[in-house]
Structure 1
Amino acid sequence: MEVKGKRVLITGGSSGIGFALAQALSERGARVFITGRRRAALDQALASLPSAQGVTADVGTQAGRILSLDGVHAAFGGLDILVNNAGAVRAGRLETLSEDEIAAMVNVDLLAPILLTRSAIPLLRASGDAAVVNISSGMGLIGAPFYSVYAAVKAGIAHFGEALRRELDGEGVHVLTVYPGGTDTPMMKSNNAGASLGFVLEPAAAVAAATVDGLNAGALSVVRGGEARANMISLNRADPAAVDARFRAMKAAFEEAVRSHSSL
């Protein structure tokens, strides 16, 4: 897919990977529309993206999803690329998470993108050369302790994308799934796990560039994390007990480092 001239909606586009994608796509000639829950952050992002438009909207709500789709349609007359990027995370032992925290992750990371995509399909199909980009996570491929709910919803959005890609095959709508590793974004500010625990943060711009390259190439997925992540994914498939042992060795330190990780 050639992204130049494409009409793009990016949820959670005011910061992090979403903002980096807005920059990268704008630089390559796409027409970008971003949404975000926080008005001040959205205004700041739009000030840095002079060619972009946007609206304050919480896609975790029906009203926010309507605002998002109505906004991009009013701005550009249609939609070619939907990027489901808005996300929420809360780390911790499952029994310590509140029902509200669990529900927030399920809603924002899984239910909202499914419902937004469902509503967007007529616009995307009308494009004739469209794409849905789902931002999953490396934890959608390798479940980590103290991230049980987050891993579940990120694996869920990945399999949603895989199934939807096959459902829409031949209908002019491609589906790309992106699996970022640790990324230097506001969502990670409250995570105190460092390189010794496997959290090496890469710039959001690097994830964005790889995602745009994946769109251009018609890729099915983009997996970040380099050779180390690829090896861990292979090991998790071939010998998951070995991955269990790796986590067991650092379990106490890992729990302490991520106990405050929250972005809901």
Structure 2
Amino acid sequence: MDLTKRHGIITGAGQGIGRALALEFGRRGGHLLLVGRQLDTLAETARLVAAKGGTTEVLVEDLTQPGAVERIADLVSSWSIVDLLVNNAGNVRAGRLELTSDADVHSMIDLNLTAPILLTKTLLPALRHSGKERGSILVNISSGIALVGMPFYSIYAATKSGISQFGESLRRELIGTGVHVATVYPGATDTAMMTSQTAGAELGWGRRPLEDVITDLIAALEAGEHEINTAPESRREMQQLNITDPMAVDAALAPGLEALELAVRDHRSI
């Protein structure tokens, strides 16, 4: 796929994977609407994109609030081309299910699942129209947890599995329309979202550098892939085992449950 001179929206663009993707599309001459909750981080992303040769507009927006999707659509309605949408914004709260507040449950579902579905629904006519010439790109950032549900992440896993199946179903719905739907499954990645979580490789949470994850992601997009797994090899072995013998994964995780709970109990980005 040709990733140059894309005109599109990246949510959660203030840091992490969202910022890194903005830089990649920016250095390829893209014009991007950067959406996020904090002006200072978005402004820094915009500055970095400009240094790479791209152009941006910035919108401070909480995607879970009423009218947010409509405000994004209104802002890009004057664009002649909308051929990129990256649904990246997300949040996490780890811990035992019974200790998770109802507010945190709703927050994860609203941002990780409901918001990208509604934003995609609203922008799909523009993506279809712009995709008639060289194809539009829809990227949904899921998670490796959608492939192996990890203890103490039940709500997060539900939302990321949901966005994965949303992408798979929509991809099949849009065959022949010029809209390329790609779902990305990052494993644990060294970003700010992970700073409140201390689980390491000994508990199955070895982290990849953000640069490596983005390199793999962009290469897969350019190759036209639809299912993009950026997890390290050790995690892929567990993913395969989860398909063939899921109870073996249960048994492998059981001895470390207490240590894992302690390591992730403060993991929160809400």
TM above 0.5: yes
Paired residue for 2:97? 94
Paired residue for 2:58? 54
Runs of 5+ consecutive residues of structure 1 not aligned to the other structure: none
Paired residue for 1:196? 202
Say which SS state the counterpart of residue 58 (structure 2) adopts: strand
Paired residue for 1:66? 70
TM-score normalised to structure 1 length: 0.96
Moved over 3 A (4+): none
- Do the aligned partners of 1:36 and 1:58 also contact (CA within 8 Å) in 2? yes
- Sort the Cα spacing of 1:132 and 1:44 in 2 relative to 1 into closer, same or farther, 3 A: same
Say which SS state the counterpart of residue 46 (structure 1) adopts: helix
Paired residue for 1:104? 107
Paired residue for 2:240? 234
Runs of 5+ consecutive residues of structure 2 not aligned to the other structure: none
Q: Of 156, 159, 162, which residue of structure 2 is paired with 1:153?
A: 159
Paired residue for 1:247? 253
- Do the aligned partners of 1:21 and 1:209 also contact (CA within 8 Å) in 2? no
Aligned pairs for 1:29-178 within 5 A: 29-50=29-50, 51-74=55-78, 76-127=79-130, 128=132, 129-178=135-184
Say which SS state the counterpart of residue 266 (structure 2) adopts: coil
TM-score normalised to structure 2 length: 0.94
Report the CA distance between 1:195 and its aligned residue: 1.8
- Do the aligned partners of 1:143 and 1:151 also contact (CA within 8 Å) in 2? yes
Distance (whole Å) between structure 2 residues aligned to residue 6 and residue 221 of structure 1: 21
Report the CA distance between 1:66 and its aligned residue: 2.1
Query: How many residues align structurally?
Result: 263
Pairwise CA RMSD of aligned residues? 1.3
Report the CA distance between 1:61 and its aligned residue: 2.4
Distance (whole Å) between structure 1 residues aligned to residue 62 and residue 114 of structure 2: 13
- Do the aligned partners of 1:177 and 1:222 also contact (CA within 8 Å) in 2? yes
- Do the aligned partners of 1:181 and 1:225 also contact (CA within 8 Å) in 2? yes
- Do the aligned partners of 1:55 and 1:67 also contact (CA within 8 Å) in 2? no
Deviations 1:118-177 (A, max 9, x none): 001011011121121000000010000000000011000000000000001111111100
Say which SS state the counterpart of residue 10 (structure 1) adopts: strand
Fraction of identical pairs, as percent? 44
Say which SS state the counterpart of residue 34 (structure 1) adopts: strand
